[in-house]
Amino acid sequence: MTDTTTLPVSGRMVTIEAWKLASNTIDLTAQIDNLKTWLSNNENSTGPYLHGNRFVAFLNVGGMEYEGGTTSGPGPLRHETFHSWCARGLKPASQPDAWWDEAWTVYNDLGAVGSIPFDFSDPPVELCPRNPWTRITPDRAYTDGERFFEGVASLLGVANLRSLMSDFYKERKHKPATTADMESFLVCHSGQPQLVDAYHRFVYGFADPSPAPDLSLRDDPAHAGSDAWAGRFWDSPDLWIRNADDGGTAHQPVEHGQDNWFYARVYNRGATALARHFLVTFNVKPFAGMVFQYPGDFLPCVAATAGFELGPGESTIVKARWPAALVPPADTHASWLAAVFARLDRPVSGLHVWDHNNLAQKNLIVVNLVPDEWVVLPFVINRFAVRPHRSLLELIRLEGMEKLEARLLHRTGTPFSSGLDSRDRPYVSLQDTTPQDEASPLDCGGSPAGVAYWGEIWTPRTPNALAARQFDRAMEVAFAPGRVSQLPLELPGGEQLVMGLLLQVPPNVQPGQVLTTDLVQRDEADKRILGGLAIEIHVIRSESTR
């Protein structure tokens, strides 16, 4: 018997072809009506049907799914139909991953409404064995697997879980997906790190480690892995970007309009504890910020990747794709943040990079300038202050570059300390410093469709609307020459501020040199560094001398 139905999401007319043995008493008309309902429900809950304009069912006994078809008795027919979405649409990458298509399908069979909190006193459950030669889907996938998704629903909310699983289907349809892919996706989009604990115990089947591992991302090359670190934590050597999935270990400037790759080097500083499973998350803040705080700046995140079996004293390199659609536009400085999570090893709310060795950041701006050219870098300060306070901005110049000109800009000059001589705070127009043969900074040519992004840097060769709007006719104050110089600020409470740092290359600097400058914020009372930016200027030849 055949009939047709039009599906609600894809708008596709699908012919339903139902078969039975001539001696069988199954009512094909009733089963086709059921299939019409289930096919429509599955599109509404999960996404478009992927298997052409035909669905074939042989109604007999048992149950087995195919792409756009099934052999099944009437009882399992709804279950096997959903497998055209979960198993034959979104596909497990290997046999060890085959637990989740059964688990999620059973959760759907039960109405996709279950929500029971995890109980971590329950024994571990192995649904995804680490043995790649496994060839059998465990029976527990249908029971403990469904229970796992009820636990996830208790963390995320039922509606949110269903929405995220639909998004995962739409992103990965027709592609193989591992268990780690699903874990990474759910953590990234929910921002819930307790999922790492749940996967550790109730999917991979690992017992709680004793003692706990001590995973670390170094804050600078001298960092030996302690939680508290007062060194140069804003430019982690354990984080870098690559423009391709090539395994390189040198940091590259971001290539816009294409995929890039996040890399991280993770250490297990524990003396005896094996980290059987961990997850590294990567996030991007599309502005240069002085201070970042966990969890709000780290989660939800852009990408994540799982790792396994990191022994005590060992390190490993992990990577995750940074999709082109999530890469900010050209001329945007982004701050890169990373966190590593393992069972019994993760930061608590309110901590900063310098407080915990599971957190790291790379706040590095790379810019090409010719001799005597300047750059303006907008940066965000005072994001978390609740009360007015005094702070110091400190500029650290490269040895031999003590006369590198540096100025601090603000539209109104409000944060500049009253202790500074007003003669040091004239109005400056960045328009007046633009060469006559360059585009005006009021021209939005540096931003797609004239849109300005908060993190955009500005040079005479890359004008954009942000710097013109934010810093033209701004108040300025100069950093004194020297290896280290400071400017006091009086910062209000509860107010985020956008300031600008103007750096100008000396005219006598030779092309090929690299000038590294750090801008850090210190607490005036205890002199502790609260945040920092690293600016790496590559001196290039001007067009006229090439």
**pLDDT digit string (tens) for 518-546?**
999 998 888 889 999 999 999 999 765 55
Q: Which of 338, 259, 267, 332 is nearest to 299 (CA)?
A: 338
Residue 429 has pLDDT above 50, yes or no: no
pLDDT tens readout for residues 172-202:
988 899 999 999 999 999 999 999 999 999 9
pLDDT digits (tens, 9 = 90+) for 292-351: 999 999 999 999 999 999 999 999 999 999 999 999 887 677 899 999 999 999 999 999
Is the per-residue pLDDT at 425 higher than 80?
A: no
What structural domains does the chain harbor?
Answer: 2-82 (3.30.2010.30), 91-202 (no CATH), 215-362 (2.60.40.10), 366-545 (2.60.40)
Element (H, E) at 529: strand 529-539
| Residue 275 to residue 310: CA distance in whole angstroms | 5
Residue 215, SS3 per DSSP: strand
2/393 Cα distance (integer angstroms): 75
- Could you give the CA distance from residue 59 to residue 451 in angstroms, rounded to a whole number? 58
The residue ranges of DSSP E strands in 137-208, in sequence order, are 176-177
pLDDT 10s digits, 199-254: 999 999 999 999 999 999 999 999 988 999 988 999 999 999 999 999 999 999 89
Q: Which pLDDT score is estimated for 448?
A: 27
Q: Which amino acid is at 504?
A: Q
DSSP code for 97 = G
pTM, entire model? 0.89
- pLDDT the model gives residue 152: 98
**What does each C-alpha distance from 497 to 159, 198, 370, 385, 387 come to in angstroms?**
37, 39, 30, 11, 14
CA gap 123, 50 in Å, rounded = 39
